[in-house]
A and B are shown apart, each in its own frame.
Chain A
């Protein structure tokens, strides 16, 4: 399936082969920096996870693993669709290329939609790091009431963990808050990268619409796009066990959480 038409070569390159191999290498070098970036924050997370295993398990138990599971399948599938897009571009099949690009964009967008829903639920459940405190009245063993200042976050996370039937004995809510900082930071950075990726995919879709990829040698741009997209996927594959699978969840819980996400009950 040789390429039948070759696209123009930029002025500073000698030939097409040089241009293509340069573009590929550029993307790989860029991805190395991204590995170091996410690797850095994952290292910091790992250090705290090793020091405070119980509290990080608790934090993880409070997350919505149902949404995370569905999102994983969506993202993995989108990696497949973009790869099929490379094949389409190489073969010059414009219709298929646009279809696969669109499929990738749709799958990525659904991921982001579910992620937004997940953040919204987190917000509703009050799992947002805050230094706010409230005064609550608690009875001690002898039945006497006392006014105690409690952290808002602590109250919320305990309620959520209770619902998830997680034993909160010995859990330090200050540190669970630290877990949530990392959760929002890491997933937030991932979301940022996905948004950028979707933007780039959309741009490529528009270019495809304009016939940019008629020159089949330009399949290399779909290829480097897919490299970036695979990387974003790979980061998610690391985030899933680090963040979501630290605490134990049952299958029923996962389904229940996903239904809750969709507003079904």
Chain B
């Protein structure tokens, strides 16, 4: 009825972390098995050796032993502490995301996974990655809490609406592995299954070649998240207010990433991904000091999480002089403010 390979018994360890996780797991198993076996043996043996013989058996009046209490408190405690120390080290390993690894982005949504590669390539419910390459993955959710889990990597992390969470992998074994949603999210929770394909380097490059090219250049290249973000920046007319002119209605965004900015009311905020994201979703929340609160909000229906991430990546990449001019032309979406100095005349040499 079941072929041997169809039964899940010892799962594949397909990443660096998986091997470390398994090592600790089996260590804990070994200690617990040993401890448990000792207890079970005692119980089992006692049941046989001390089964009742007569209704009036005499039993010794043993009340306890402080030494024994201390011993069997201290020894388990020491073993538990060893689990703790090793476990925290392992946990820390997964939680400390290498900052310069290529970043993949995942948006969980009822009931699918939308994934984006560092260079902009998108996939749905699939992820192709090269073997033996460290990769970082950042995620959020467009609705409820989901969890992006890959059992073969022994790794998972909750993707929470309203914030970014991350983890990282270094896949070591080629193959195709399951991606599961590991936080109950409604009707389609068990349908949110994906596949991660770990490919040898050559195959990975070929896969990429078959779908798009990447360009070199001073500005961000076509297809990358920052480029997509720039296109959106223009399409949504962000540059109508966020531009370098003296009468601009909004702050210039160049070179701000990583600094602390003052807000109205005196607080300081760190200009990071979360802040940029929040400023786009809910601009009235933390208004920059010295500016009027006139920015419209952009909800999920207008800018989904992947697009939002692209905007964030774009703004992050802005260095002084990079901001598009106010007049760089792109059709305005419905309802966008059209008043103000004319946007119609294209400027020569305008970036597009």
- Residues of A whose CB lies within 8 Å of any CB of B are 54, 140, 142, 144, 146, 169-175
Q: Which of B263-299 contact A (CB under 8 A)?
A: 263-265, 267, 282, 284-287, 293-294
Asked if B339 is at the interface of the complex by the 8 Å CB criterion, the answer is yes
Determine the chain B residues whose CB is within 8 A of the CB of A173 once the complex forms.
Answer: 284
Give CA–CA (A173, B263) in the complex, Å: 16
CB distance from A172 to the nearest CB of B (A): 5
Q: Give the number of residues in B that approach A within 8 Å (Cβ atoms).
A: 14
Asked if B348 is at the interface of the complex by the 8 Å CB criterion, the answer is no
Contact between B264 and A169 (Cβ–Cβ < 8 Å)? Answer: yes
Contact between A54 and B337 (Cβ–Cβ < 8 Å)? Answer: no
CB distance from B118 to the nearest CB of A (A): 33
Determine the chain A residues whose CB is within 8 A of the CB of B267 once the complex forms.
Answer: 54
Asked if B340 is at the interface of the complex by the 8 Å CB criterion, the answer is yes
Give CA–CA (A54, B293) in the complex, Å: 15
Contact between B284 and A172 (Cβ–Cβ < 8 Å)? Answer: yes
CB distance from B291 to the nearest CB of A (A): 10
CB distance from B261 to the nearest CB of A (A): 13
Determine the chain A residues whose CB is within 8 A of the CB of B284 once the complex forms.
Answer: 172-174
Determine the chain B residues whose CB is within 8 A of the CB of A142 once the complex forms.
Answer: 339-340
Determine the chain B residues whose CB is within 8 A of the CB of A140 once the complex forms.
Answer: 294, 337, 339
CB distance from B274 to the nearest CB of A (A): 13
Give CA–CA (A144, B338) in the complex, Å: 11
Contact between A170 and B339 (Cβ–Cβ < 8 Å)? Answer: no
Contact between A170 and B337 (Cβ–Cβ < 8 Å)? Answer: no
Give CA–CA (A142, B341) in the complex, Å: 11
Give CA–CA (A16, B251) in the complex, Å: 77
Query: Can you list 11 A-B pairs, Cβ within 8 angstroms, ordered by A?
Result: A54-B265, A140-B294, A140-B337, A140-B339, A142-B339, A146-B337, A169-B264, A169-B287, A170-B264, A170-B265, A170-B293
How many residue pairs link A and B with beta carbons under 8 A? The number is 28
Determine the chain B residues whose CB is within 8 A of the CB of A172 once the complex forms.
Answer: 282, 284-285
Contact between B287 and A170 (Cβ–Cβ < 8 Å)? Answer: yes
Determine the chain A residues whose CB is within 8 A of the CB of B264 once the complex forms.
Answer: 169-170
Give CA–CA (A44, B282) in the complex, Å: 22
CB distance from A48 to the nearest CB of B (A): 13
Contact between A174 and B287 (Cβ–Cβ < 8 Å)? Answer: no
Contact between A144 and B339 (Cβ–Cβ < 8 Å)? Answer: yes
Contact between A174 and B339 (Cβ–Cβ < 8 Å)? Answer: no
CB distance from B337 to the nearest CB of A (A): 7
Give CA–CA (A144, B337) in the complex, Å: 11
Contact between A170 and B263 (Cβ–Cβ < 8 Å)? Answer: yes
Give CA–CA (A140, B249) in the complex, Å: 12
CB distance from B57 to the nearest CB of A (A): 39
CB distance from B7 to the nearest CB of A (A): 47
Contact between B265 and A169 (Cβ–Cβ < 8 Å)? Answer: yes
With CB as the reference atom, state the residue of chain B lying closest to A143: B339
Known interface pairs A170-B264, A174-B282; 6 further A-B residue pairs with C-beta atoms within 8 A, sorted by A's residue number: A140-B294, A142-B339, A146-B337, A172-B285, A173-B284, A174-B284
CB distance from B56 to the nearest CB of A (A): 37
Determine the chain A residues whose CB is within 8 A of the CB of B265 once the complex forms.
Answer: 54, 169-171
Give CA–CA (A146, B286) in the complex, Å: 24
Determine the chain B residues whose CB is within 8 A of the CB of A171 once the complex forms.
Answer: 265
Give CA–CA (A33, B271) in the complex, Å: 43
Determine the chain A residues whose CB is within 8 A of the CB of B339 once the complex forms.
Answer: 140, 142, 144
Determine the chain A residues whose CB is within 8 A of the CB of B282 once the complex forms.
Answer: 172, 174
